[in-house]
Amino acid sequence: MLGLQLAIAGVATGSVYALIALGIVLIYKCSGVVNFAQGAYAMLGAYISYFMLRLHLPAVVAVLAAMAIMAVIGAATERLILRRMLKAQIVSVMMVTLGLLIFFRALCLAVWGPDQIAFPQIFPAGSIDFAGVYITYNYVAAFALATTLSVAFLCFYQFTAIGLMQRCTADNTRAALAIGIHVSNQISIAWAASAALAGLGGALLATLGGLSLTISDIGLVAFPVIVVGGLDSLVGALIAGFLLGVLEAFTEGMLTPALETVLRKFTSIDSVGALQQVIPYALLVLMLLLRPQGIFGRRGVERV
C-alpha cells in the first residue's frame, strides 16, 4: 500500500518535473546551451504566481500572467546574455547559466525571504479514492495539467509551422538560414517557451509542496536524469521527469527510512539527509559508463 501511494505521488510530481525537463532539452536542441537556470525559472514562476494570486486575481489569470512574464524573462535572458556568448567556450556558457541560477535565487531570497510560504490553494480541496489510496485533488490536477501541456507541446513541436522551424533550427543552423528561417528568433522562442513551461511547473510544485527557494533545486537534480534520457530527446526528457519523480518518492519514502533505521541501530548517525538528490547523480555516473549518448539520445550531438 505504501508502494502504491509512493508510486502515485511520484508519478504526479514526476509529470511536473517532465514539463520542466522538456524546457531544458528544448533549449539544448535549439541553441546547444545546457541551461542550469531552468530550476530558477521554475522557482521564479512559482513566486510570481504567488505574487499574482495575492493580488486576488483568478487562479487561471494569475498563472497565465506568471507564464507570460516568465516567457519574457526567458527571451530576455537569451537576447541580453546568451546571444552575446555565441562564440564563447561551452564551459563559460555553463558557468553563466549557473550564475543565473544563483542570481535568481538571491533575488527571490531578497524579495520573499528564506522561509517556506504556504501557497494559496488554487485547486479545489478534497481527494479521490484510487484503489484504497487517497489522492488529493492537488496531485490529480497537477498531473492532468502538466501531462496535457507536455503532450500539447510535443504536438506543437511536431505539427505546426513554428514547430517545424524549431526542429530545423535544432537540426542544422546553416541549412535553416539558407531556407529563410530567422534562426536567432527561433532560439528566443525556444527560451521563452521553455521558461514559461518551467514557470507553470514551478507553480504546480508549489501547490504540492509549498513555496520556497528549494524549488530551484529541480534544475540541478533533473539535469543528470535528462542526460540519462538523452539530452537531445524531448520524449527522453518526459520519461526522465517521470523517472525522477518516482525515484525521489521511493528514496524519500522507503530507502531513506530503511537506511536510517539501520544506521541508528549500528552507528551514531541518525539521518542520511537529502538522499533523493544523490540518487540521480549516482544514476548518471552509471549511465555515462554504460551508454554515453543516453537512452534515447543520438550519438554526436554538438554545439553550433
Partner 1 sequence: MRAEAQAGAAAAPLLAARGVSVHYEGAISALEHIDFDVPQGALVALLGANGAGKTTLMKAIAGMLPFERGEVTAGEIDFDGFSCVRAHPAKITRRGVALVQDGRQCFRSMTVEENLRAAALLKPARAREMTDLVYDYFPMLREMHARAAGFLSGGQAQMLVIAMALMGQPKLLLLDEPSLGLSPVMVQAVFDAVERVHRDLGASVVIAEQTVPRLLTIATDAYVLSRGTVAIHAAPSQITEDELQRVYLS
Residues that bind partner 1 (CB under 8 A): 87, 161, 164-165, 167-168, 171-183, 298
User: Minimum distance between the CB of residue 75 and partner 1, rounded to whole angstroms?
Assistant: 18
Q: What Å distances lie between residue 207 and 99, 215, 241, CA to CA? A: 27, 11, 18
Residues 6 or more apart whose Cβ sits within 8 Å of residue 127: 134, 135, 136, 137
Its sign, for the CA torsion 148, 149, 153, 159, is: positive
Q: Minimal distance in Å, beta carbon 168 to partner 1?
A: 5
Strand partners, 135: 128
Q: In angstroms, what CA-CA distances link 103 with 46, 68, 111, 252, 287?
A: 16, 21, 12, 29, 31
Rounded distance between C-alpha atoms, residue 260 and residue 281, angstroms: 20
Among residues 52 and 165, whose Cβ is nearest to partner 1?
Answer: 165
Residues 35/94, Cβ–Cβ less than 8 Å:
no
The least distance separating partner 1 from the CB of residue 166, rounded to whole angstroms, comes to 11
Q: What is the DSSP letter of 56?
A: T
Q: Pick from 178, 188, 179, 181: which is nearest to 165 by CA?
A: 181
Q: Which candidate, 37, 25, 20, places its Cα nearest to that of 235?
A: 25
Nine cell digits for residue 100: 543565473
Instruction: Say which residue the cell 537540426 belongs to.
Output: 171
Q: How far is the CB of 232 from partner 1 (least distance, A)?
A: 9
Which residue number, 54 or 182, has a Cβ lying nearer to partner 1? 182
* Shortest separation between residue 182's beta carbon and partner 1, angstroms: 4
- Lookup result for grid cell 492537488: 138
Distance of closest approach, residue 299 Cβ to partner 1, in angstroms: 12
- Comparing CB distances to partner 1, the nearer of 116 and 171 is 171
CB of 177 to partner 1, least distance (A): 5
Give the chain's length: 304
User: Among residues 91 and 161, whose Cβ is nearest to partner 1?
Assistant: 161
Closest CB to partner 1 among 56 and 174? Answer: 174
Residue 136 or 173 with smaller CB distance to partner 1? 173
- Please say whether the beta carbons of 26 and 234 come within 8 A: yes
As measured in angstroms, the least distance from the Cβ of 183 to partner 1 is 8
Q: Which residues contact 280 (CB under 8 A, 6 or more apart)?
A: 221, 222, 224, 225, 244, 247
**175 vs 285, beta carbon nearer partner 1:** 175
Measured from the CB atom, the residue of 132 and 300 that comes closer to partner 1 is 300
Q: Which residues neighbour 274 within 8 Å (Cβ) at sequence distance 6 or greater?
A: none
